[in-house]
Amino acid sequence: MTLDFKSLDFRDRNVVVTGGTGALGRAVVGALLEAGARCHVSYMVETEAQSFPFRDRATLHAVGDLADEATVTKLYDAVPGLWASIHLAGGFAMAGIADTGKAALMAQVDANFASCFLCCRAAVTAIRNTGSGGRVVNVAARPGLEWRSGAGMVAYAASKAAVAAMTVALAEEVARDGILVNAVAPSIMDTPANRRAMPDADHAAWPKVEEVAATILFLASPANAVTRGGVVPVYGKV
């Protein structure tokens, strides 16, 4: 599948992509670069950074814990004139409630909600400083919208539901600053890791990372002039 991202003009615009060295992140960063963006990509896994195909075209930032306020502040202080911030970093744990103690619960809250909250906070501050408006895009998940589908992964579903609620509330809070905040909510995406984990699933029905990236790119682009407070399902055919 070939998607034309050049019509979404990011020329000379600085964009942060957290978790940008993963499967979805690579699709997003590749599309942003095609559209002319200056990409600032945070990562935690060194092997992903070493194999990142855009090392010579994007600025990589090694980070520790994005649920740590000082770490997030340092990341955003290193980015000049921020236009958009796209928050892909997160974590998944499949476990029923009987097997999920407080430590495991808080790990999901930190990985998915607290990290997103702190990055949103830093991004809003940085974009406000430009006086030119900008865009924020978060990543929720299907169980964060369709709660019954979160059975067996209740901590994950709750943390992603918090991302969705925050997105809508924040969109109202910063609209007058010209900052449009939205989120996407993917179902299971077609990645090598997911195929290995579910070899008998109907992979053709899963949304492709390039397709999810296309939705993210529009929401983060100047072409999106009016959409805010959306949590967009990107479910594919299932």
CA atoms within 13 A on the CB side of 226: 0
Active-site hit among 43, 76, 156, 235: 156
pTM: 0.95
Instruction: Yes or no: say if 117 and 66 are a contact pair by the CB < 8 Å rule.
Output: no
Over residues 128-170, the pLDDT tens digits come to 999 999 999 999 999 999 999 999 999 999 999 999 999 999 9
Instruction: Yes or no: say if 27 and 236 are a contact pair by the CB < 8 Å rule.
Output: no
Catalytic: 76?
A: no
Over residues 95-113, the pLDDT tens digits come to 999 999 999 999 999 999 9
How many of the other CB atoms lie within 10 Å of CB of 101? 12
> Which whole number is the average pLDDT over 113-126?
98
Question: Domains in the chain, ordered, with CATH?
Answer: 14-234 (3.40.50.720)
- H helices present in the chain, as ranges: 23-34, 46-50, 69-77, 102-108, 115-130, 142-145, 154-174, 192-197, 209-220
Over residues 160-209, the pLDDT tens digits come to 999 999 999 999 999 999 999 999 999 999 899 999 999 999 999 999 99
- pLDDT band, residue 51 (cuts 50/70/90): very high
Residue where the block lists tokens 């935690």: 44
- Exposed e or buried b per residue across 196-225, where buried means at least 16 C-beta atoms within 10 angstroms of its C-beta: eeeeeeeeeebbbbbbbbbbbbbbbbeebe
How many of the other CB atoms lie within 10 Å of CB of 23? 17
